[in-house]
Structure 1
Amino acid sequence: MATTTTRRLAIFLGLALVMGVTRFHPSLLHHALWDASWGVFFLAGFWLRGQGRWAFPLLMVEAVLVDYLVITGQGIDFWSHYCVSPAYWFLVPSYGALWLGGSWLAKRQQGLSLATLGLAVAALLVAEGLCYLVSNGSFYWISASVPAPRSVAAWFANLGDWYLPFLTGTAAYVALGAVLHALATQLSRASQRGGHTLH
């Protein structure tokens, strides 16, 4: 999606605000349904494709900073929190999968069409699935918060317990972003048509 620098910055700030507001709550550190982080990274990959060198790292810094503020704000040492372990850093490739999914969609989308909708659903399912697999798998297998003994069967049970809420929450934010994108596209077209009629 080609945008001016001003529009790119506005999109980035809007997404950062949404993630900050929805992530800034203690329960959201356990990936509660309405944390917008996953949806934000997917939408950022779509709207800010080609800007990954600065936008992705800044969103990652924001995510970690919010987690740090929430955890330490409860009087807990950041490194001793249940959710923070060596597996915590696997959020980088997890969120990277979402970004790449959105970027892949942006490169192949065909405007407001059923074909684009089908691509969007496929891209979101694959990207969200990879994100979930990496984040959940790393936490299960690496984090000391998960008691031993561990087993593949128990991991698959854990995957099944949390997958649908993660998918539903992410899809809700991406759907909202898609509606906003469609409205902005239609308004832009209407504005361009109006400009042509004035000449």
Structure 2
Amino acid sequence: MAIATTRRLAIFLGLALVMGVTRFHPSLLHHALWDASWGVFFLAGFWLRGQGRWAGWTTFALLMAEAVLVDYLVISGQGIDFWSHYCVSPAYWFLLPSYAALWVGGSWLAKRQQGLNLRTLGLAVATLLVAEGVCYLVSNGSFYWISASVPAPRSFGAWLGNLGDWYLPFLAGTSVYVALGAVLHVLATQLAHASQRSGQIRH
């Protein structure tokens, strides 16, 4: 139990670090790294959904608080009032259901995957596309229709055009980080199996 708890803590800290670094966008990393937030929430749902009823959602809340804190530090660090920033409006709080969609997608996948095989790979791709699509629709749609930063008049056609402009970059960035997480997951699983086989041989 202690080993599992230590492993979960290490995974959480690793994901939080990756999100913090890439979301903060220091000058040396700006335009060099995609924001990993979307991938982090999907992977966190897969790896940290929790043994108990509230364990996973507590982790989600901590990552959500980190995301807001980083945004606050970045904006205030530019000498701008947080609430007057272009990206902060009533639509900003729709990041909560947006990121929750990614978390739920990762958690759903974890409950239904059946080991390292082509079925799991196909299920992972389909789940990521659905979860990322819901996240994108909610975050982009809320910003377009609610934020005062989008000038009137608004139209459904213009929104569809905006969706098309940004969808692939967001999908690409999220997919890269999830793919990296998948590679780490495969390596860790193979190492664990190798360790188990080695222990059985010694006995």
| Partner of residue 8, structure 1 | 8
- 1:21-170, aligned counterparts within 5 Å? 21-25=21-25, 34-50=34-50, 51-170=55-174
* Cα deviation code 1:84-127 (max 9, x no counterpart): 00000000000000000000000000110000000000100000
3-state SS of 1:52 partner? helix
How far apart are 1:160 and its partner, in Å? 0.2
Structure 1 moving runs of 4+ over 4 Å: none
Structure 2 Cα separation of the partners of residues 20 and 36 of structure 1: 9
Q: CA RMSD in A?
A: 1.6
- Residue 21 (structure 2) pairs with residue 17 (structure 1): no
In the aligned structure 1, how far is the partner of 2:199 from the partner of 2:21?
Answer: 37
Structure 2: 5+ residue stretches without partners: none
Find the residue that maps to 2:56 and give its secondary structure: coil
Deviations 1:16-66 (A, max 9, x none): 000000000279xxx997100000000000001233231000000000000
> Unaligned regions of 5+ residues in structure 1, if any?
none
Of residues 160, 177, 180 in structure 1, which corresponds to 2:181? 177
1:54 alignment partner, SS class: helix
TM superposition score normalised by structure 1: 0.94
For each residue in 1:126-185, what CA deviation from the matched residue of structure 2 results, as whole angstroms up to 9, or x when unmatched? Answer: 000000000000000000000000000000000000000000000000000000000000
Percent sequence identity over matched residues? Answer: 85
Q: 2: CA distance between counterparts of 1:65 and 1:21?
A: 13
